[in-house]
Chains A and B, each alone.
Chain A
Amino acid sequence: MKDKEIEARKKDETDVAAKAEGTREGIYYRPKVDIFETETELTLIADIPGVEQGDLDIDIADNTLTIVGNVKQKDDAHNYIMQEYGVGNFFRQFTLSEVIDQEKINANLSNGVLTLKLPKVEKAKPRKIEVK
């Protein structure tokens, strides 16, 4: 049986609303993500090639998760013979429906892939009320 072939996809450009951090120069792309959840946690995996540890900003405020990755190596100074993809920063926002335990968030950046584990707040245990 043939091995599954990977798809090549163009990067999506995105508009970044000017936020408190100020407007940054450059093109922003929307990274491709996988999001899945289990009973206890939400996991987000994003492809952000070219972003180093120090250039990644993850923020949670008011149930909104914001991921900003800055890519230093912008080769716009070069004359391309062939250019199939653009090099730019990454930006994406999500609204979280679950309440996340912010103390226990775990982020890992390796080979240009960000893995974010967001544990859900333990639901309060139901209290049994005895009727006398």
Chain B
Amino acid sequence: MARYRWYVDRDPFLNEFSRLQREMSRLWSQNFPEGQSAEVGLFPLVNIFEDQDNYFLTAEIPGLAEKDLDLSVVSDQVTIKGERKLEEKEDVNYHRRERSGGVFSRVVSFADRIDPEKVEASLKNGVLTLKLTKAEESKPKKIKVKID
């Protein structure tokens, strides 16, 4: 199973690279609309934003309850694992079959280390929200300059 690491940091070159990837993805899906795979091995898609002390991650995982989800944090990485089971129906006539199910495992890397004791996770209406507090030693420390 493919595992992709996404580095979320502020390196301008990497941001440019991922912008380019997004552009390519967009052009691709313009030619092949309607349910085209975004990038293989990247479920769930995530949004990440931050403030001074925390990272916030949101992901859409409809149909999953807490027990179906496996979250872990180590150092500067978060792993989101689970399985989305779809109802298996026999003897029915399908008109549309657009939803996809299966196992998933995704590692997201951050620029700062995360404090594993302080992670908050909530799953509501199929949306996973993580609040990841940056580890103390990762935060930049102000240095006082003595003026003699």
Tell me which of A78, A87, A112 contacts B126 (CB under 8 A).
A112
Confirm or deny: A15 has a beta carbon within 8 angstroms of a beta carbon on chain B.
Answer: no
B30-38, B113-121, B137-145 - the one binding chain A: B30-38
Interface centre among A12, A47, A111 (most CB of B within 10 A): A111
Inter-subunit contact B46/A2 (CB<8 Å): no
Within 8 A of A (CB), among B33-73: 33-50, 55-56, 58, 60-65
Question: Is B16 located at the chain interface by the 8 A CB criterion?
Answer: no
Bound CA–CA A85/B39 (angstroms): 12
Does B102 belong to the interface (CB within 8 Å)?
Answer: yes
Tell me which of A18-26, A27-35, A57-65, A119-127 binds B: A27-35
- Determine if B75 is an interface residue (Cβ-Cβ < 8 Å): no
The residues in B between 74 and 98 inclusive whose CB is less than 8 angstroms from any CB of A are: 83-84, 86-87, 89, 91-98
Q: Give the complex CA separation of A93 and B28 in angstroms.
A: 26
> Closest CB-CB distance, A33 to chain B, in whole Å?
6
The reply to whether B62 and A38 form a contact with Cβ atoms under 8 Å apart is: no
Say yes or no: A34-B125 contact (C-beta < 8 A), given A85-B60, A112-B63.
Answer: no
- Complex-state Cα separation, A34 to B86, whole angstroms: 10
Q: Does B17 contact A (CB under 8 A)?
A: no
> What band does the interface of chain A fall in when counting residues whose beta carbon is under 8 Å from B?
35 or more
Contact pattern, A 31-48, Cβ under 8 Å of B = 1, otherwise 0 = 011111110000101011
Min CB distance, A38 to chain B, in Å? 5
Instruction: Given A10-B25, A112-B60, answer yes or no on A33-B98 (Cβ-Cβ < 8 Å).
Output: yes
Q: Is A130 an interface residue (CB 8 A)?
A: no
In the complex the two chains form, is B46's CB within 8 Å of A84's CB?
yes
Tell yes or no: B147 within 8 A of A by CB: no
Cβ A10 vs Cβ B58 within 8 A: no
Residues of B within 8 A of A75 (CB): 47, 49, 58
Q: Is the CB of A50 within 8 A of B125?
A: yes
From the candidates A9, A35, A80, A82, name the one contacting B35 in the complex (CB within 8 A): A9
Interface residues of A (CB under 8 A from B): 2-10, 12, 32-38, 43, 45, 47-52, 73, 75, 78-85, 87, 111-113
The 4 closest A-B pairs by CB, nearest first: A112-B126, A49-B126, A6-B102, A112-B62
Residues on B facing A (Cβ under 8 Å): 1-2, 6, 8, 10, 18, 25, 29, 33-50, 55-56, 58, 60-65, 83-84, 86-87, 89, 91-104, 123, 125-127
For the A-B complex with A49-B61, A84-B47, A112-B62 known, give 13 more contacts whose Cβ atoms are closer than 8 Å. A2-B1, A7-B40, A8-B42, A8-B44, A12-B34, A35-B96, A49-B127, A78-B49, A80-B48, A82-B47, A84-B42, A111-B62, A112-B125
